[in-house]
Amino acid sequence: MSTAMTTGRPAGTRTYLQLGIIWALLLTVPLWLPMLGGYTAIAGRVLVFALAAMGFNMLLGFTGVMSFGHAAYFGLGAYGAGLTLKYVAASTPLAMLAGTLLGGIAGTLFGLLLVRRRGVYFAMVTIAFGQVCFYIAYKWDSFTGGYDGLRGFLRAPIDLGFTRIDIAGNETLFYFFVLFVFGLAVGLQALILASPFGRTLLAIRENERRARFLGLPVERHIWLSFSISCFFTALAGTLYALLNNFADPLGLNYIMSGNIVMITVMGGMRTFWGPLVGAVLFVMLQDYVSSMTTNWMFFVGMAFVLVVLFFPRGLMGMLQKRSAA
């Protein structure tokens, strides 16, 4: 899929093989992860960050616009879900809907203000909005729980009428639930990117001026891309709240935005599956190295520097370049 996405060639055997491997690995996580010393919650975390970064990558990798404030929509998604579960109703689907809408609509409205900015100005304004959200969550103690985060909610089992899926008590089931949502979202994103709209985004990324001369409404496309990207990232945020049973103002902070950028760039920002690879690397590094040394941030940073120096197209980008050669 990804080869087709970036080059415009029809999908070949290699693409299906790649897809097959990725999904086979994801579906069998509960079987092989414990053998490698992992645990199911960390696989959920990988998927959540991958989804957030894939949403972000739609903007950075496929439209060519840099946002440094995607944590805002991630965090709004998490708070939206948490607040719904805490104050409105113990319904997981409702919480996810509310969180996604909160983050997505905030991004859509805010996108209106920034589509005319480019480059560093675009990035600066997105940081500013992210920090505004962070300080609201931080200061509004009675409602959001302030610095200590929003507690006191639990993900609820999903009632399908004929059966009940106990994602609250069963970690493995919850992982499959996250994987299911991830699959739907990623599939939808692939459809969007393969559509004429997605092609237009690529055209804007490659040469904005030429796209404008062709009569394409560039601003509107960037705005739509930003908005869609925020919806995906907010959806990831709702899953993060369900995963931890907790929402945290640092999830809105610019550091989290930086993490999302790092994941995307490490994995490969112009490839479809790059952010997933980046999320695996980032979460594993953070989790394992921090158990071994207090200087774990140094190693995460070094990994990032190495990837940027040696594989500027990210890990996934390098693999593809190699196989294409």
Partner 1 sequence: MSDGIRLTAGRRKFLAATAAVGGLQLSSPFIIKARGDVPVKIGFIDPITGSLSALAVSEVEGAKWTVDQMNKKGGILGRPVQLLVEDSANDTGTGVQKAHKLIERDKVDVIMGDVNSGIAYAIMGVTSDKKVLHIVPGGHTDPITGKDCKWNTFRTCNTTAMDAAAVTGELVKRFGKKWFFVTPDYAYGQTLQANFVKNLEKLGGTWQGDMLPIANADFSATLIKAKAFKPDVLLNNMGGAAQINCMKQFVQFGMAKEMALGGALFEIEAIRSVPKEAQTGWWVMEWYWNQPNVPQVKEFVDAISPSIGNRKPTARHWMAYVSLQAVKLAAEKAKTLEAVKMAQALSDLELPPDVSLSPNKIKYRAGDHQLMSDIFVGQVHPPGPDGPDDLFKVEEIVTGEKAAGPAEETGCKLVWPS
Q: Which is nearer to partner 1, 197 or 288 (CB)?
A: 288
Separation CA 223–CA 122 (nearest Å): 12
Q: Give yes or no for residue 287 binding partner 1 (CB under 8 A).
A: yes
- For residue 292, give the amino acid letter: M
- What are the backbone angles phi and psi of residue 156, rounded to the nearest 5°? -100, 150
Residue 39 beta carbon to partner 1: minimum distance, rounded to whole angstroms: 4
Q: Looking at 198, 251, 268, 278, which residue binds partner 1 (CB under 8 A)?
A: 251
CA distances from 156 to 5, 63, 94, 117, 170 (A): 37, 37, 10, 42, 11
Q: Looking at 160, 162, 209, 294, which residue binds partner 1 (CB under 8 A)?
A: 294
Residue 197 beta carbon to partner 1: minimum distance, rounded to whole angstroms: 35
Separation CA 279–CA 7 (nearest Å): 24
Q: Looking at 97, 250, 258, 313, which residue binds partner 1 (CB under 8 A)?
A: 250
Q: Looking at 3, 29, 45, 193, which residue binds partner 1 (CB under 8 A)?
A: 45
Q: Dig out the tokens for 15 from the structure.
A: 């693409």
Q: Looking at 66, 203, 288, 313, which residue binds partner 1 (CB under 8 A)?
A: 288
**What is the rounded end-to-end Cα distance, in angstroms, of the chain?**
18
Q: Give yes or no for residue 292 binding partner 1 (CB under 8 A).
A: yes
Q: Give yes or no for residue 227 binding partner 1 (CB under 8 A).
A: no
Q: Dig out the tokens for 135 from the structure.
A: 């300080």
Separation CA 151–CA 100 (nearest Å): 19
Separation CA 193–CA 189 (nearest Å): 6
**Closest CA relative to residue 99, chosen from 224, 236, 254:** 236
Q: Give yes or no for residue 37 binding partner 1 (CB under 8 A).
A: yes
Residue 174 beta carbon to partner 1: minimum distance, rounded to whole angstroms: 12
Q: Looking at 22, 41, 97, 136, which residue binds partner 1 (CB under 8 A)?
A: 41
The stretch near partner 1 (CB under 8 A) out of 58-66, 92-100, 175-183, 293-301 is 293-301
Q: Give yes or no for residue 296 binding partner 1 (CB under 8 A).
A: yes
Q: Looking at 297, 305, 308, 312, which residue binds partner 1 (CB under 8 A)?
A: 297
- Helices 171-194, 13-27: inter-axial angle, 10-degree rounding: 160
Q: Give yes or no for residue 147 binding partner 1 (CB under 8 A).
A: yes
Q: Which residue has the tokens 């709209």?
A: 197
The stretch near partner 1 (CB under 8 A) out of 29-37, 120-128, 159-167, 216-224 is 29-37
Q: Dig out the tokens for 78 from the structure.
A: 């998490």
Neighbours of 296 (CB within 10 A): 16
What's the Rg (C-alpha) of the chain? 19
Residue 54 beta carbon to partner 1: minimum distance, rounded to whole angstroms: 20
Q: Which residue has the tokens 């950075």?
A: 60
Site string for partner 1, 64-103 (x = CB under 8 A): ----------------------------------------
Q: Give yes or no for residue 40 binding partner 1 (CB under 8 A).
A: yes
Q: Dig out the tokens for 222 from the structure.
A: 């960037």
Binding residues vs partner 1 (CB under 8 A): 34, 36-42, 45, 138-139, 141, 146-149, 151, 154, 171, 244-246, 248, 250-251, 287-288, 290-292, 294, 296-297, 306, 310
